[in-house]
């Protein structure tokens, strides 16, 4: 039985004293009326659900608070787990949570997409469980589903998932928890994806926020050389909050995190809502900010040991990355705009991009798949509609294409993306 159902049977949902967050125009605002900027870390200690170990969450939340974290991103959770302890630990530390709703067996396939009742039930189960927590910032319907041009037919299925989950959220009387998508940073696809998911003028179908997994900024570099200037140009007056849902290139190293000054500085602060650093736990890809002890043999087994790394214990900062990030965030105190002074009509509604030869394959504002539809079958074909077409901006060919080795970004460039591959790529 889900924790939310148990709480409901007891007469009230479990909530904690922290302002809730909503998406208005291209900004996040707290229920106190203050603009909210994400200073986050990716947090997935174990494959299935890191938010069920209260003692570990409490230890990590304490150190995260010292680092300056106000948000974590969790890629996989068990909707039937008991998350009260962890969510309270993070709430007490002033930390919000963003949760991916898919699982290893329910994510939207990039090459043969479908959106069915089993997926909807699984996603809505996550929504049911986490909606009770005031420090739930938002939910992702997908992560890096589209990575190469011939996968863009999956875009209407991403949008359909968002439509149905938002409709379910509203039908249940839940607060307007933002529902969005986390995209691969591929220069040839980026403007088309972000424009398509926010086009058409129907807010009930569009994403509420857009996350970009980008590793373009590799210290030492600059705002212009890194490609961030191009990212900013494509994000100018974007209709929903846009932020880095993964970032933190570690080549050549060490990581100086000087991109944070750009993201929270005058060049980008008016259009971007912050960044989530990849990642909290040190693993073989060397992106961790903390470790739980020395590495062990990759074949070692035991409690909380996997892939040669301990996944529980006292978090110890990884030097110099932890201190470098802490120093950067300590210098950043954006104030933004008050909700009462913000005019959401100032942002632009995107045109639905037209298809391009060998590139973006969705022609304009196509009708979205219904629940149960499969691409290329009698249930759905992405035929163009009569309205809403337009050309998307071209991407700069000079942008770098850095990625986390072994991440879903790299893996999704291959054909198929079987569930086994998803498990492999996340933990490589």
Torsion from C-alpha of 369, 375, 379, 380, nearest 10 degrees: 50
Distance of CA 395 to the CA centre of its chain: 22
Structure tokens at 345: 């009509």
Preceding omega of 279 cis (within 30 degrees of 0): yes
Among the listed residues 246, 279, 283, 399, the single catalytic one is 246
Answer for the pair 387, 365: CB distance below 8 angstroms, yes or no.
Answer: yes
Tokens 């930390």 correspond to 95
- In the residue annotation, 279 being an active-site residue is answered as no
**Strand ranges (DSSP E) for 191-331?**
209-213, 242-247, 272-277, 290-291, 305-306, 309-310, 316-317
Q: How far apart are CA 368 and CA 114, in angstroms?
A: 12
Among the listed residues 144, 283, 351, 399, the single catalytic one is 144
Burial of 46 per CB tally in 10 Å (0-12, 13-18, 19+): middle
Burial string for 351-380 (b: 16+ CB within 10 Å, else e) reads bbbbbbeeebbbbbbbebbeeebbbeeeeb
Structure tokens at 247: 């970032």
- In the residue annotation, 144 being an active-site residue is answered as yes
Residues annotated catalytic, as ranges:
144, 246
């Amino acid at each position: 039985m889900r924790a939310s159902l148990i709480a409901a049977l007891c007469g009230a949902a479990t909530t904690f004293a922290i302002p809730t967050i909503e998406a208005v125009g291209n900004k996040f605002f707290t229920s106190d009326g203050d603009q909210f900027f994400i200073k986050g870390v990716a947090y997935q200690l174990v494959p299935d659900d890191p938010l069920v170990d209260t003692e570990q969450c409490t230890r990590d939340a304490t150190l995260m608070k010292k680092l300056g974290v106000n948000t974590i991103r969790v890629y996989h959770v068990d909707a039937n787990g008991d998350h009260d302890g962890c969510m309270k630990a993070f709430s007490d530390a002033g930390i919000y949570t963003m949760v991916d709703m898919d699982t290893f067996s329910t994510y939207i396939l990039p090459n043969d997409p479908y959106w069915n009742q089993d997926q909807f039930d699984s996603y809505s189960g996550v929504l049911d469980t986490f909606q009770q927590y005031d420090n739930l910032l938002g939910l992702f319907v997908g992560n890096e589903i589209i990575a190469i041009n011939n996968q863009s037919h999956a875009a209407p299925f991403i949008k359909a998932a968002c439509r149905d989950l938002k409709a379910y959220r509203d039908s249940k009387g839940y607060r307007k928890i933002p529902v969005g998508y986390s995209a691969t940073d591929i220069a040839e696809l980026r403007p088309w994806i972000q424009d398509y998911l926010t086009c058409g003028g129907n807010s009930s179908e569009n994403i509420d926020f857009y996350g970009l997994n980008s590793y373009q900024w590799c210290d030492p570099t600059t705002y212009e050389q890194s490609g961030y200037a191009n990212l900013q140009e494509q994000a100018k007056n974007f209709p929903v909050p846009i932020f880095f849902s993964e970032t933190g290139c570690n080549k050549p190293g060490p990581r100086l995190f000087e991109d944070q000054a750009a993201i929270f500085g005058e060049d980008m602060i008016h259009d971007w809502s912050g960044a989530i650093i990849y990642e909290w736990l040190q693993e073989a890809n060397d992106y961790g900010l903390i470790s739980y002890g020395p590495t062990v043999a990759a074949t070692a087994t035991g409690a909380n040991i996997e892939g040669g790394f301990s996944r529980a214990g006292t978090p110890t900062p990884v030097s110099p990355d932890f201190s470098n990030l802490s120093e950067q965030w300590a210098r950043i105190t954006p104030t933004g705009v008050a909700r009462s002074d913000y005019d959401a009509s100032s942002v632009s509604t995107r045109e639905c991009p037209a298809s391009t030869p060998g590139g973006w394959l969705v022609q304009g504002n196509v009708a979205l798949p219904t629940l149960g539809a499969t691409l290329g079958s009698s249930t759905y074909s992405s035929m163009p509609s009569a309205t809403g077409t337009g050309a998307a901006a071209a991407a700069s060919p000079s942008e770098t294409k850095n990625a986390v080795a072994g991440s879903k970004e790299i893996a999704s460039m291959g054909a198929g993306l079987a569930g086994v591959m998803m498990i492999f790529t996340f933990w490589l």
